[in-house]
């Protein structure tokens, strides 16, 4: 099997910034309440003309530029999303067309907020078994527009989410480097914790489902928090054991940017004493499947990670799904991030906001 790693990353955050004050007014909460409960201060909202594929296509182009590739060199375009443009066709097909990846197979992955890590595993395996002469690169995109499915009167969810897209190009790297191990697990018995109940084959769209708010995102926040606290530490421990890597060798931890207060509680229990915790949720909130690749793109842009350093990704989401991945950072021209002192479980890197971007022209 060919060693596969990340050779380029990119992201796109919509131009419009939505403050806690704007969100809080409709949900009956204050800026102070939102910050205390979530660590989020603002989020981005897609323009009316933007859909998930629009954001994904910009992030894809930026990742390809960072990798020094053109779209026609791609074998696969995979979009991880739970807010697709349409029920069908796949959002990835729209992105493939927009970026000109004419040789690529395109498909979507829906593991909700774990989708990017799930898609990484799929593309890594597909590329690793490619025959000589076949295209050797794939594009994995996480993209979500939760602003379109939120009930803004529901204080449990209204403040948590933002819109965005992040992308990673995968391709051959030096033997023994790149993606070391990826672990995926689902707990289907807990599928009711996160849901959008209407709009599918079980409960098709109708005047009744619309009037009852069946198309809104719903979440049992307390139970989700308990699930993550139970499941994630063990999954990280198992990942490192399978990869034969001690926890102190991990230099960077990139979690799904679900909730800052929850991550602050969880962080000391993970045993990653020499790792920096990377957060972008203060400025971007929870961007679903996009949150991990957006954070990776910010790390690359700001030089927060150096080539060869070990990065651990951990995502969790509806289903209930958990995806963890361990990788060597294989992008150059970055400067090392100062390591926290041994035993310092509070080291957090709050990554700055990226450049403000104009809405994508149609």
Q: In the annotation, is 256 catalytic?
A: yes
CATH 3.40.47.10 for domain 4-175:
yes
Q: What is the pLDDT of residue 350?
A: 56
Q: Is 113 considered catalytic here? A: yes
**Beta-bridge partners for 105:** 76
pLDDT of residue 356: 28
183 has pLDDT over 70? yes
Beta-bridge mates of residue 317? 321
- Report the SS3 class of residue 75: strand
Q: Are 81 and 94 in contact (CB under 8 A)?
A: no
Residue 31: band (very low, low, confident or very high) from pLDDT cuts 50, 70, 90: very high
- Active-site hit among 20, 110, 259, 286: 286
Q: Give pLDDT, residue 332.
A: 74
Active-site residue (options: 110, 113, 137, 259):
113
- Residue-wise pLDDT for 310-352, tens only, equals 999 999 999 999 999 999 999 975 444 444 444 444 345 555 4
Which whole-number Å values give the CA distances from 94 to 83, 119, 144, 301, in the listed order?
A: 14, 17, 15, 27
Which residue ranges make up each domain of the chain?
Answer: 4-175, 180-350
Q: What does the pLDDT read at residue 8?
A: 97
| H helices present in the chain, as ranges | 20-27, 31-38, 52-67, 91-99, 115-128, 207-211, 221-243, 260-266, 281-284, 291-302
Q: How confident is the model at residue 134 (pLDDT cuts 50, 70, 90)?
A: confident
Q: Which range among 18-27, 196-205, 330-339 shows the weakest confidence by mean pLDDT? A: 330-339
Q: Is the pLDDT of residue 75 over 80?
A: yes
Would you say residue 119 has pLDDT above 60? yes
74 has a pLDDT exceeding 70: yes
Contact by Cβ (8 Å): 310, 292: no
What pLDDT score was predicted for residue 176?
81
Chain segment 207-233, per-residue pLDDT in tens: 999 999 999 999 998 999 999 999 999
φ, ψ dihedrals at 168, nearest 5°? -135, 135
Q: How far apart are CA 184 and CA 323, in angstroms?
A: 5
| pLDDT for 97 beyond 80 | yes
Q: Looking at the chain, which runs of residues are DSSP E strands?
A: 4-12, 16-19, 42-45, 74-80, 105-109, 137-145, 163-172, 179-186, 194-195, 218-219, 252-255, 276-279, 310-317, 321-328, 348-350
Residue 187, pLDDT above cutoff 70: yes
Q: Which of 236, 265, 192, 245 is nearest to 325 (CA)?
A: 236
100-110 tens-digit pLDDT:
999 999 999 99
Does residue 4 contact residue 61 with C-beta atoms inside 8 Å? no
pLDDT at residue 333, rounded to an integer: 55
Contact 102, 76 (CB under 8 A): no
Does domain 180-350 fall into CATH 3.30.470.10? no
Catalytic residue among 256, 259, 278, 337: 256
Please give the Cα distance from 241 to 353 (Å, whole number).
Answer: 35
pLDDT for res 175: 84
Average pLDDT, the chain: 91
- The reported pLDDT for the residue numbered 133 is 77
* Mean pLDDT, range 116-136, rounded to an integer: 90
> Omega into 198 within 30° of 0, i.e. cis?
no
pTM, 2 dp:
0.91
pLDDT attached to residue 351: 54
């Amino acid at each position: 099997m060919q060693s596969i790693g990340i050779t380029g990353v990119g992201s796109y955050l919509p131009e419009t910034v939505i403050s806690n004050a704007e969100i809080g007014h409709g949900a009956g909460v204050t800026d102070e309440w939102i910050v205390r409960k979530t660590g989020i201060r603002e989020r981005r909202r897609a323009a009316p003309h933007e859909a998930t594929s629009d954001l994904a296509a910009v992030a894809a182009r930026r990742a390809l530029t960072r990798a020094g590739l053109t779209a026609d060199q791609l074998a696969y375009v995979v979009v991880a999303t739970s807010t697709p443009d349409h029920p069908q066709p796949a959002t990835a097909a729209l992105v493939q067309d927009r970026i000109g990846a004419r040789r690529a197979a395109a498909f979507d992955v829906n593991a909700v907020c774990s989708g990017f890590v799930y898609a990484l595993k799929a593309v890594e395996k597909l590329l690793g078994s490619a025959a000589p002469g076949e295209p050797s690169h794939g594009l994995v995109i996480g993209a979500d527009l939760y602003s379109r499915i939120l009930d803004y009167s529901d204080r449990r969810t209204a403040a948590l989410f933002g819109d965005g897209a992040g992308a990673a190009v995968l391709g051959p790297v030096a033997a023994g480097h790149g993606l070391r191990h990826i672990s995926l697990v689902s707990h289907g018995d807990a599928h009711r914790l996160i849901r959008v109940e209407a709009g599918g084959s079980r409960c098709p769209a109708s005047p009744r489902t619309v009037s009852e708010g069946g198309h809104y995102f719903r979440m049992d926040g307390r139970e989700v928090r308990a699930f993550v606290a139970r499941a994630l530490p063990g999954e990280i421990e198992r990942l490192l054991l399978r990869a034969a890597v001690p926890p102190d060798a991990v230099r960077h931890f990139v979690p799904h940017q679900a909730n800052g207060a929850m991550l602050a509680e969880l962080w000391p229990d993970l045993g990653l004493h020499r790792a920096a915790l990377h957060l972008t949720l203060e400025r971007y909130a929870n961007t679903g499947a996009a949150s991990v690749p957006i954070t990776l793109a910010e790390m690359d842009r700001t030089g927060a990670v150096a080539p060869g350093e070990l990065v651990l990704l951990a995502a969790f989401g509806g289903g209930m799904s958990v995806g963890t991945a361990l990788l060597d950072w294989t992008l150059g021209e970055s400067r090392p991030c100062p390591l926290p002192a041994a035993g310092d479980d509070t080291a957090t890197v709050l990554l700055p906001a990226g450049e403000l971007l104009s809405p994508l022209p149609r």
